Amino acid sequence: MAPRQLAEVLGLIIDAHHQDSGDVREANTFLIPVDFREEFAPDLAEVAGELGLAPEDVIRVFTGSSLRISLLAAAMAPMMDGVDFPAPVSRCALPRTNVPAGSIMVAGNNAIIQPFPGPSGWKVIGRTPLRICDIAEQPAITYAAGDSVSFTAIGPLQWARYEGRFLRPVKGETP
């Protein structure tokens, strides 16, 4: 995405997200499906080795963690704290130049979701088939600082069920 296009997208997102309604926004809850297959999780084995866990234990701990969005990072990426790993996870020694949209990444005790393709130095442990940011939607993002996030593991058959759907808060049912 060209810098001018990115600036336009960010402007639209910020405008949509900060419309003055006069009401205090209530925190939302999200349940995000994640595929942890190797093709979507190039750093999962490395993270497991760093933590002294098996990859399936990293997935179990990650999906068992209750996270909170602490801030919106570059390109409106939801940065979350509260990953219950036994130790902080290091960043990549050499950052990637193009991480796919929907990638679920970890560093320290934090997680982040890549909303658009782009560079990152965080370790990629999975990918969601959901669109988490879309300027065609109103609002373009449905999450904000203070929202709660949980992740659930899915496989290839479930991927097709969620692929391309826009991320919405949980309202008494799974997404």
pLDDT in tens, 98-114: 999 999 999 999 999 99
Distance, in Å, from the CA atom of 172 to the CA atom of 105, rounded to the nearest integer, reads 27
CATH code, domain carrying 11: 2.40.100.10
Q: Does residue 121 lie within any of the structural domains? A: yes
Residue type, 38: E
Q: Does residue 175 lie within any of the structural domains? A: no
Distance, in Å, from the CA atom of 84 to the CA atom of 64, rounded to the nearest integer, reads 8
pLDDT band at 135 (very low <50, low <70, confident <90, very high): confident
Kindly list the distances between the CA atom of residue 34 and the CA atoms of 14, 20, 110, 126, 144, in Å, as whole numbers in the listed order: 26, 33, 16, 6, 20
Looking at per-residue pLDDT, the higher value among 171 and 113 belongs to 113
Closest CA to 123 of 97, 90, 159: 90
Strand positions, DSSP E, the chain: 29-35, 67-72, 78-81, 96-99, 103-107, 110-113, 118-120, 123-127, 148-154
Distance, in Å, from the CA atom of 115 to the CA atom of 168, rounded to the nearest integer, reads 14
Kindly list the distances between the CA atom of residue 130 and the CA atoms of 18, 34, 159, 164, in Å, as whole numbers in the listed order: 23, 9, 9, 5
Based on the structure, what is the number of domains in the chain?
1
Q: Does residue 168 lie within any of the structural domains? A: no
Q: Which domain holds residue 64?
A: 3-18+28-162
Q: Does residue 92 lie within any of the structural domains? A: yes
Q: What is the largest CA-CA distance in the chain?
A: 49
Output the average pLDDT for the chain.
89
Residues 162-174: what's their mean pLDDT?
A: 83
Q: Does residue 47 lie within any of the structural domains? A: yes
Q: Does residue 172 lie within any of the structural domains? A: no
Q: Does residue 171 lie within any of the structural domains? A: no
Taking the model in full, what pTM does it have? Answer: 0.84
Q: Does residue 109 lie within any of the structural domains? A: yes
